[in-house]
């Protein structure tokens, strides 16, 4: 008689798989994708290397899923902050910048891995999807800002891509695990400079917020 998994065994297998994903994410957050060897993940999860391959076809598939889960979580926090900021494009843009930068600076090693670290092709495909999500979010804000006369008329998709590129590039020095954090680093000054640059780049007539939006550090 062929073995048929029960609901209990399926739940157990899913729980073990989720535990391995958690172990892998912890390793990536500490050592990056380059340091996330299957042996290190297995040790972190207190299982054998063979057990890892029972749930994932290979290391690349495992790390691609780790990237996707972590990226979707981080994007969700930024998206929630933008939605909570209200309808005004100025406040929504500021929420995007503040939350993206603040979360990156609080989780520097993971942020570096998600944004800049050299990765396998399967992981890089997930990174391209992540970038598109942020571009789409920025584009929606820019389109509304143009319609409301807050930003100058421009190609919104191109401007959104340039905006996210500028924010990411401005964080390189602060996130680089080989140099960061540096003595004398001032995250508030860095964030203020990035914000000012982005508003100027979009031709915003004023940088004062239209309403008060939640502090990004209050979003879990």
Per-residue pLDDT reduced to its tens digit, 64-78: 999 999 999 999 999
Does 164 fall in a domain?
yes
3-state secondary structure 135-202: HHHHHHHHHHHHHCCCCCCCCHHHHHHHHHHHHHHHCHHHHCCCCCCCCCCCHHHHHHHHHHHHHHHC
**149-175, pLDDT tens digit by residue?**
999 999 999 999 999 999 999 999 999
Q: Are residues 83 and 159 in the same domain?
A: yes
Q: Are residues 38 and 86 in the same domain?
A: no
Tell me what the pLDDT averaged over the chain comes to: 89
Q: Give yes or no: residues 3 and 43 share one domain.
A: yes
Q: What is the pLDDT of residues 91-127, one digit of tens each?
A: 999 999 999 999 999 999 999 999 999 999 999 999 9
Do the domain assignments include residue 61?
no
Q: Which residues constitute the domain of residue 170?
A: 67-218
pLDDT digits (tens, 9 = 90+) for 196-218: 999 999 998 655 444 444 555 55
Q: Could you tell me if 27 and 94 lie in one domain?
A: no
> Quick one: 128 and 206 in the same domain?
yes
Average the pLDDT over 48-67 and give the result.
94
At 31, which CATH number? Answer: 1.10.10
Q: Are residues 76 and 6 in the same domain?
A: no
Q: Is the pLDDT of residue 22 over 80?
A: yes
39 and 106 belong to one structural domain: no
* pLDDT value at residue 149: 94
- Of the residues 33, 56, 79, the one at which a domain ends: 56
DSSP string, 89-133: HHHHHHHHHHHHHHHHHHTHHHHHHHHTS---HHHHHHHHHHHHH
> What pLDDT does residue 220 have?
53
Residues 47 and 95 in one domain: no
CA-to-CA separations, 190 to 4, 21, 105, 194, in angstroms, rounded: 57, 33, 10, 6
Inter-residue contact 145 to 88 (CB < 8 Å): no
Q: Is the pTM of this model over 0.95?
A: no
Q: What is the pLDDT of residue 179?
A: 80
Q: What local confidence, expressed as pLDDT, does residue 85 receive?
A: 97
- Asked whether residue 62 is assigned to any structural domain, the reply reads no
């Amino acid at each position: 008689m062929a073995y048929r998994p029960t609901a209990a065994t399926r739940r157990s297998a899913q729980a073990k798989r989720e535990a391995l994903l958690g172990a892998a994410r912890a390793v990536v957050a500490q050592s990056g994708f380059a340091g996330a060897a299957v042996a290190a993940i297995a040790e972190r999860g207190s299982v054998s290397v063979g057990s890892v391959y029972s749930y994932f076809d290979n290391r690349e598939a495992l790390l691609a899923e780790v990237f996707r889960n972590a990226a979707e979580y981080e994007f969700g926090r930024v998206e929630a902050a933008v939605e909570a900021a209200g309808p005004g494009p100025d406040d929504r843009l500021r929420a995007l910048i503040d939350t993206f930068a603040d979360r990156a600076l609080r989780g520097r090693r993971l942020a570096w891995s998600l944004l800049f670290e050299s990765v396998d092709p399967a992981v890089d495909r997930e990174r391209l999807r992540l970038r598109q999500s942020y571009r789409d979010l920025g584009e929606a804000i820019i389109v509304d800002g143009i319609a409301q006369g807050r930003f100058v008329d421009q190609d919104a998709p191109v401007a959104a891509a340039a905006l996210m590129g500028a924010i990411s590039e401005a964080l390189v020095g602060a996130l680089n695990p080989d140099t960061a954090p540096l003595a004398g680093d001032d995250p508030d000054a860095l964030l203020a400079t990035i914000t000012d640059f982005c508003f100027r780049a979009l031709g915003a007539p004023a940088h004062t917020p239209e309403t008060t939006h939640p502090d990004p550090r209050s979003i879990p």
